[in-house]
Structure 1
């Protein structure tokens, strides 16, 4: 994905999902270039982005990466995130060799069952103050 006028792509994720929150924390820790910003689907900024791309923020089955007018979802979004983190995480892009018709059903199964498999927080995850400038 292209970089959006210096502000960077926005990852919209489920802050109540334990897996999704862990991934958001991972991105904040390993994004040394400070490329990505985060928005939870539970806050207004994230909900607006979901609606903009035709996704119901009350019942999403994907995280999205928004960069200007472009949006990635499902396995493409995950692979773009890891590619954007640089080495060694960038090696995950090798999974692009797996056709999307195989990757996406696996992704969607995990997404649909994320609370059952990984659990759900009672309250949304809140990032530490030192990352406040990267969370919308």
Structure 2
């Protein structure tokens, strides 16, 4: 899907995590504009990016946010993504002023239990026709 265009903002997510899939749907529903693109960590592109950033190929610890070659993970990725959302959700990005150890503690706590909270999907989410070109694989 649409990998020929310039990619400025990419979110990599666990494609079999229902919590992660719902998070992507939430982002799509609350964006201010359509600047974000998406790919599952398990996709060919996701695997290539994991290799490029020396991350394990089975990495699913957090959403990853790439912006112009810079990679963010855990709470910092969430805060950067929040900047693309409509108010009041974008205001969550102001939490990035808190110590990273504090915000990552809560991020990792939720991430650790996400499969227990919502389970795993058999496959990645299927984008709607309106958002299909924003999913790279």
- Same fold by TM-score greater than 0.5: yes
| SS class of match (1:56) | coil
Between the two proteins, the alignment pairs up a number of residues equal to 132
TM alignment of 1:1-80, pairs within 5 A = 7-80=7-80
TM-fit CA distance, 1:77: 0.2
For structure 2, list consecutive stretches of 5 or more residues without a partner in the other structure: none
TM-score w.r.t. length of structure 2:
0.86
User: Deviation digits for residues 15-39 of structure 1, max 9, x if unmatched?
Assistant: 2111100111111222241110000
Instruction: Summarize deviations over 1:92-120 as a string: whole Å, max 9, x none.
Output: 12212321111112212222322122211
Structure 1 unpaired stretches of 5+: none
- TM-score, normalised relative to structure 1: 0.87
Instruction: Name segments (4+ residues, structure 1) moved above 3 Å.
Output: none
Q: Greater RCO between the two (CA within 8 Å, min separation 6)? A: 2
Q: CA deviation at 1:14?
A: 0.8
2:85 is matched with which residue?
85
Pairwise CA RMSD? 1.8
